[in-house]
Amino acid sequence: MAKAEQGKTSLDSGWLAARSSDVPFTGTQLTTTHTPSGPTSPWMEALVPSTVLATLLKNKLVPDPFYGLGNEAILDIADSGRDYYTFWFFTTFPCKLSSNQHCDLNFRGINYSADVYLNGHKMVLPKGMFRRHSLDVTNIVHSEGSNLLAVLVHPPDHPGTIPPQGGQGGDHEIGKDVATQYVEGWDWIAPIRDRNTGIWDEVSISITGPVKIIDPHLVSSFFDNYKRVYLHTTTELENRSSWTAECSLSIQVTTELEGSIHLVEQLQTQNLSVPARSRVQYSFPELFFYKPDLWWPNGMGKQSLYNVIISIDVKGFGESDSWSHYYGFRKIESHIDDATGGRLFKVNGEPIFIRGGNWILSDGLLRLSKKRYNTDIKFHADMNFNMLRCWGGGLAERPEFYHYCDYYGLLVWQEFWITGDVDGRGVPVSNPGGPLDHDLFLFCARDTIKLLRNHPSLALWVGGNEQVPPEDINAALKNDLKLHPYFKHVQENGKLVSNLSPMLGDPSQYLDGTRIYIQGSLWDGFADGKGNFTDGPYEIQNPENFFKDHFYNYGFNPEVGSVGIPVAATIRATMPPEGWQIPLFRKLSNGYVEEVPNPIWKYHKYLPYSKPNKVHDQILLYGAVKDLDDFCLKAQLVNYIQYKAILEGWTSHMWSKYTGVLIWKTQNPWTGLRGQFYDHLLDQTAGFYGCRSAAEPIHIQLNLATYYIEVVNTTSEELSHVAIEVSVWDLEGACPYYNTHENFAAPPKKVTPVVEMKYPKSKNPKPVYFLLLKLYQKSDNRILSRNFYWLHLPGGDYKLLEPYRQKKIPLKLTSEVFIEGSTYELRMHVHNKSKKPDSKSLIQGNSCFLADSPDIVNSGAGKALEVGWFKRIHKCLAGKSDGLRVSEVNGNNAGVAFFLHFSVHAVNRDHKEGEDTRILPVHYSDNYFSLVPGETMTINISFEVPSGVTPRVTLHGWNYHGKTIHEALY
């Protein structure tokens, strides 16, 4: 009999589900004599992997908990009882086995426990949301015909109740279990009614020969300044046969050159014997690599990945099992920095200034997918972030999440399932001992470590959010996650053990051994380092505050948050018309304004754009608000400024005061209205692009506290022979201030103040103006960084921008479109055709009144301004159509084309009010951008189009009134 095909097969379709109380049969009967025949009552089509609530929503048996107040109409488990959300899940699968082949049934995540029935045989999956289950079903499966699988899933033991006032983690009862804690609700999400009960992660069967490979561990060590690299590998082997298996175990390391062409870097084979019905651990001899391509975080270099393949052949059988993983050669280390007191991270010996965000999970109903993870992580890379913190009240994230973090270069801080709100704070103190079953917690933690430890993006383990695990758990984690001596610092000043001698042992023998363990998010170089509640703040701020020395007093802030309302189209798509009402603005006696949101916004955790007694309403700085579209557009202006200021303010103090910052938070796992750079529908807010600008590896910025122009160089190379161009533009289209600074050098890993932007101190400055900063590489005229601001004089506001909306700025749009299947790639060249207002301008294409301006200053130490070079580069950078598709929108006004933003829609000529025509997600190289007179910018746009849909691209702007750019794109 020929061997059946070996390997893993996912069971992700064809599932049925039914409430257990509606099914009159036992699991044995369901998988023998009373098999469900299809989606007929009480059975329904099920989403697996996912949750009970996601399945009920798929079948329209509950309102959409993400729409309006729909969640309030769903019965909470606290009121229904656990039986209401105890569900059967049923599917069938084929499995042909030949002699000496084995089949495992694998569950990568069940919440919270389950009874499994296969072909009439019962198996029990023990409790714990974050543990894998692998069941040897070799003697149960039928090699001919279908195998019948029924899984009875039980909710968490302590789902808790939701107090009327809500709160962080409800009544905290969920903390008694080893499960997600956000499900009882938080200040950014409503309660999840089934507490995420379900088969929430991958289900598969795997077919192997008599010997199975289990959880290999890959560790690399570096010498001679990362030129010599050794790969250490340990794996567990299980022989399930009744005879000693004579085996050849091979490891192969390949790298992809082009397309499907792979180069074998290393190949090694070892012979060994594995005793009958036993498990053995085997370590390969070290593999040596000379000058391998290293894996770097986003913004520091390439994310080079090698494919490591381990396979085992058994004499008389052939290949028995194989395992593969994309692996990156890199070394992550950290210590508490003497200068700042913050934790300083190094990758491959290079210090990295951390600018990233806090991550909860992708979707509150655990509808997790590779495609969505790809979008999620690419969005973070597009914002130039270099770290994500997986918050302790959420998930131990999935391998697919980590795969894309590996691919895009996002370092990951992974916490275990402890939060201060649920475990150790409150009156009375909630769950001071943490979960009830400490052994279960540690089992889940150890299994999670084995699941994730080979990912190069994984940077550190942390015991909990704003809390330390109970003493015995913490001690066990410290021991389990102790560093191998090679990865330790001898001292906190960064000196390393320089040799990996045989006396130190094989690092792959450790559970991890390569990454630090920090007991909590406020300890050991984070916040005040002592566990005091010193993260935050989480509300709107005056943008200049982020630059001030007294704003935050510790070296690394793990959480600083702010606003984040989405665009008006998302409000309409996720709320009924009564939710389209904008907040009431209530003026207080002291002159501050309080925002009063409608009940639906309040339910969706709206965070106001004012902070009475501290921060005037930032939306009203732009004038009175007319309607939802006006409110959300002005909110995007604030989002952009607020988040750009957070990151630029922190970066301004790089190494002198700070080592990093993580923004709370980057996205919402439901349709929330705060703290996000893209909404749950995957449309970006303007804050996304404010962050993208501020977190550039090479960046020019304005210090909003000192008004000095600063050049940020986070790379390892000095920037030499660079030039700075500073121009101010008023609302009339004139350029009353211009300055340059040439032959400037920016040292690596440093922020360099260059020159003060003196326009606000000049004679008769305009109350509202635009500032454009450009940093050029003189050798090839490249723009290294471009940064645009809109500013008002101290004590002023932006109300003059309201009449500026009536300007008609002429734009020329030149486009290229590339279509491959359902994927569209667009290159949009946008040119502001505003005429030059004065022939005496010395900068062609930039309309600056150099000859007339009283504010022109010479740059450098008395060196005369070299106008010629700037004149040449502006000619060089002028936009050209080159015969491409061109559209022009005429206007008779000169000035800045302000706050332009593209969007992509499905053509629908009969759309109704509130109908969402957007195609999402869309990746933009930039958006919410502005162009000064004569300036051209190229925006790259990519998206996938659903089958049968015709896309159209639109462009909107503060003072640009054209709309559709392309319909039926070629």
CB count, 10 Å around CB of 326? 17
Q: In this structure, are residues 713 and 748 in contact, taking their beta carbons and an 8 Å threshold?
A: yes
Active-site residue, from 559, 595, 710, 742: 559
| Torsion-angle region of 555 (φ positive above 0: left; ψ -120 to 50: alpha; else: beta) | alpha
CB within 8 A of 565, min separation 6: which ones? Answer: 571, 606, 632, 635, 639, 673, 674, 685
C-beta separation of 798 from 694 below 8 A? no
Contact 15, 45 (CB under 8 A): yes
Q: What is the 3-state secondary structure (H, E, C) of 691-709?
A: HHHHCCCEEEEECCCCCEE
- Nearest partner of 814 among 886, 889, 903, judged by Cα: 886
Q: Are 544 and 552 in contact (CB under 8 A)?
A: no
Beta bridge partners of 792: 768
Give the residue from 567, 560, 535 showing the smallest Cα distance to 546: 560
What would the two tokens of residue 436 be? 């009830």
Give me the amino acid identity at 274.
V
- Helical segments of 467-539, H only: 471-480
* Spatial separation of the C-alpha atoms in residues 954 and 902, rounded to whole Å: 6
Query: φ and ψ at 322, to 5 degrees?
Result: -145, 155
DSSP-derived letter for residue 25 is S
Q: What are phi and psi of 69, to 5 degrees?
A: -105, 25
> How far apart (Å, rounded) are the C-alpha atoms in residues 582 and 602?
11
Any idea which residue has 């014997």 for tokens? 273
Distances (CA, A) of 728 to 13, 190, 457, 709, 896: 59, 46, 42, 13, 11
Q: How far apart are CA 338 and CA 342, in angstroms?
A: 8
Q: Is 466 a catalytic residue?
A: yes
Indicate which residue of 397, 466, 595, 725 is catalytic: 466
Question: Is 444 within 8 Å of 130 (Cβ atoms)?
Answer: yes
How far apart are the C-alpha atoms of 239 and 280, rounded to whole Å?
9
Q: Helix crossing, 399-408 with 438-452: angle to 10°?
A: 40
What tokens does 708 get?
A: 């000095």
| Cβ pair 459, 452 in contact under 8 A | no
Respond yes or no: is residue 888 known to be catalytic: no
Q: Is 1 helix (H, G, I), strand (E, B) or coil?
A: coil
Q: Look-up: residue for tokens 């932006």?
A: 798
Q: How many other CB atoms sit within 10 Å of the CB of residue 101?
A: 21
Could you list the active site residues?
466, 559
